[in-house]
Amino acid sequence: MGLFDAFRFDGKRVLVVGGATGMGAAAAELVQDAGADVVVMDYAPVALAGVRTITVNLAERASIDAAVAECGGPVDALLSCAGVADGTPGLERINFLGHRHMIDLLVASGAIGRGGAIGFISSAAGLGWEPNLPLLKEYLDITDFDAGAKWAQDHLKTDYMFSKQAVCAYVAREAMRFLKEGIRINAICPGPTDTPLAQANKETWLGFGADYRAEVGIGASTPLEQAYPLVFLCSDAAGAMTGQTVITDAGYMASGVTESYPPAAPAANFLLGRY
């Protein structure tokens, strides 16, 4: 066994939730190529050959319960990739609460145990979670799936940005608790990425930062370019990392914060809650 094997997934079972399309599909293909036994859960049909597929609707508790029971264990790495855009019914469940409920079930059953890793796909939209932490703590303190959904609805927090802030805050807050059980949890916060979901919201999602990308001579990220850091965070090679939300936006936020690209500054400061 060589040192670089820590980046591989030989002998590991990996569950990819939201692995039918986009970044999730790229991550499923990547971990499969890295030697993993792959299970893909999604509401949409899964095209990747050689993986076990399970249908799940993250907006419904019963569907999540059934999918986790069907999956069983062990789950050495969980990639929580499913997400929807504003205007989708049940967004607060699909983007966060459903993922959290699944994690709770997998941890409680022992399917994810010592040596396990969890990787979320958040978003640059979630980066302003720290200034909003008091409200997010109130939300995260509600551990019941249905009660959490009711809170989000009652507080008018069923939008994409808040759901992604919840992901980032959850990753940071739960890292220590999970690490006591030998489980790591991290997330990536992608910039514009050319996925079917982004294409469906092309003007807003892929238009964001287009001037910066033109200035440096790149296009929007590919799903595989985002899958690489996500999969790395769940590999043994990232053993020192937990509780982190890694910004994978080709430097847009950094250039805005430092004003090395001044036009990015207003958006970067807004997204980070630095008004």
Share of the chain above pLDDT 90, in %: 90
Q: Tell which wins on pLDDT, 192 or 123.
A: 123
What is the pLDDT averaged over residues 186-215?
A: 85
What is the pLDDT averaged over residues 132-138?
A: 97
Q: Report whether 119 contacts 188 (CB < 8 A).
A: yes
Sequence letter at residue 238:
A
> What pLDDT sits at residue 151?
98
- pLDDT tens by residue, 14-63: 999 999 999 999 999 999 999 999 999 999 999 999 999 999 999 999 99
Q: Report whether 64 contacts 103 (CB < 8 A).
A: no
The CATH number fitting domain 3-194+223-250, selected from 3.40.50.740, 3.40.640.10, 3.40.50.720, 3.30.590.10: 3.40.50.720
Domain ranges of the chain: 3-194+223-250
For the chain, the farthest-separated pair of C-alpha atoms sits apart, in whole angstroms, at: 54
Type and span of the H or E element at 42: strand 37-42
- pLDDT tens by residue, 49-97: 999 999 999 999 999 999 999 999 999 999 999 999 999 999 999 999 9
> What pLDDT sits at residue 200?
78
Q: Please, which residues have CB within 8 angstroms of residue 154's CB and are 6 or more apart in sequence?
A: none
> What pLDDT sits at residue 193?
87
Selection from 139, 61, 71, 131 nearest residue 99 by Cα: 61
Q: What is the distance, to the nearest Å, from the Cα of residue 118 to the centroid of all Cα atoms in its chain?
A: 9
Pairing relation of β-strands 13-17 and 245-248?
A: unpaired
Q: How confident is the model at residue 194 (pLDDT cuts 50, 70, 90)?
A: confident
- The whole-angstrom separation of Cα 231 and Cα 225 is 11
> What pLDDT sits at residue 187?
98
Q: How confident is the model at residue 107 (pLDDT cuts 50, 70, 90)?
A: very high
The number of C-alpha atoms within 13 Å of 89 and in the hemisphere containing its C-beta is 2
pLDDT higher than threshold 90 for residue 114: yes
Only one residue has tokens 């293909």, namely: 29
pLDDT higher than threshold 90 for residue 197: no
Phi, psi of 261 (to 5 degrees): -125, 90
Average pLDDT, the chain: 95
pTM above 0.85, yes or no: yes
